[in-house]
Amino acid sequence: MAQLTYRDAVARGIAQEMRRDERVVLIGEDVAGAGGVFKTTVGLLAEFGPKRVIDTPISEQAILGAAMGAAMTGLRPVAEIMFSDFFAVCWDIVVNEIAKTRYMTDGQVVLPLVIKTGNGGGLRFGAQHSQSIENWAMAVPGLKVVTPSTPEDVVGLMAAAVRSDDPVMFFEHKGLYSSKGEVPDGDIVDSLGTAKIRRPGTDATILALGMMVPRALAAADQLAGRGISAEVIDVRSLVPLDTATILSSLSRTGRLFTVEENPRLLGWGAEIASIAAEEGFWDLDGPIQRITTPHIPLPSADSLEDLVMPSADSVATTVEKALQS
């Protein structure tokens, strides 16, 4: 059992799969010699060499175009887009090419491609480098979408993503890169489409993703001190979505809350709320409540960014008020 940072877990997960399968290659801006702008690929060039760890020009279209071609012709690339905000530059390739090729060729062409990226706010990078865009990807048929919250999940979900024959959007939360956690020795392979109950509870179900998971857990600690037992579920995978775990929890607690970093309008929690209303309506003891970032560009000033993003305090207050009403 090793204590790893989230960023080191990214490199470990990729290295595990590169050792297992020589078809796995890494491509992106500064991923080789520099070890990645967020230092998530340190050591990979030294171990696997420049034919499998490839630096590119500053061109998101070129990165994904090359990775798509490599995936179509027998490799299993991991491509990095430095900041998730930059998907706006290459979204046509993702949405109209990568996501649709397997379907449009009736399965004759598969795309075993992982697109990894630094996602989310909390680091004062401003409106153009702090967006949480997993809901963009969730809306596109043909993409799988995962967001790990712990170092162990980073390794296991990266392995599952690399082994998938469908393209996977792998969102690493920038605010978690320095966080640490225990990671078992040996190879770790998780499964896409599975949520995890991080804390059991009986009075309310709180769903969270990425950096919102530790904040939801901290909120649950506060609520426990006020006599409220909150179950915290780490959604982890938006596509496929583990509705069974979510609805089972709702049937036990009767109350559902989502904690979302993405802007409120059309956030991932809206889809889950819709599913819960359709399939778990009779289990609900009160309205579903979504705790989100407002529908505004994320500010860079620390006081303003902290104000608009969900916090442990705001989650605990919202849940407590709802249960008392």
Q: Residue 140 has what pLDDT?
A: 98
Q: Residue 266 has what pLDDT?
A: 94
CA angle in degrees (0–180, nearest 5) for 155-241-93? 75
Query: Domains in the chain, please, with CATH?
Result: 2-183 (3.40.50.970), 196-324 (3.40.50.920)
- pLDDT tens-digit map of 197-217: 999 999 999 999 999 999 999
Concatenating the DSSP letter of every residue in 238-260 gives EETT-HHHHHHHHHHHS-EEEEE
Measure the CA–CA gap between 132 and 57, rounded to whole angstroms.
25
Q: Residue 65 has what pLDDT?
A: 97
Annotated catalytic sites, by residue?
129
Q: CA nearest 45: which of 58, 55, 59?
A: 55
pTM over 0.85: yes
Strands 2-5 and 144-146: unpaired
Q: Residue 325 has what pLDDT?
A: 79
Q: Residue 23 has what pLDDT?
A: 98
Q: Residue 1 has what pLDDT?
A: 83
CA angle in degrees (0–180, nearest 5) for 65-68-72? 140
The distance in angstroms from the start CA to the end CA of the chain is 45
77 close to 113: Cβ distance less than 8 angstroms:
yes
CA angle in degrees (0–180, nearest 5) for 83-88-91? 110
For residue 69, give both structure tokens: 């071609």
201 close to 257: Cβ distance less than 8 angstroms:
no
Q: Residue 98 has what pLDDT?
A: 98
Measure the CA–CA gap between 158 and 162, rounded to whole angstroms.
6
For residue 318, give both structure tokens: 């919202």
Question: In the chain, which stretches have pLDDT less than 70?
Answer: none
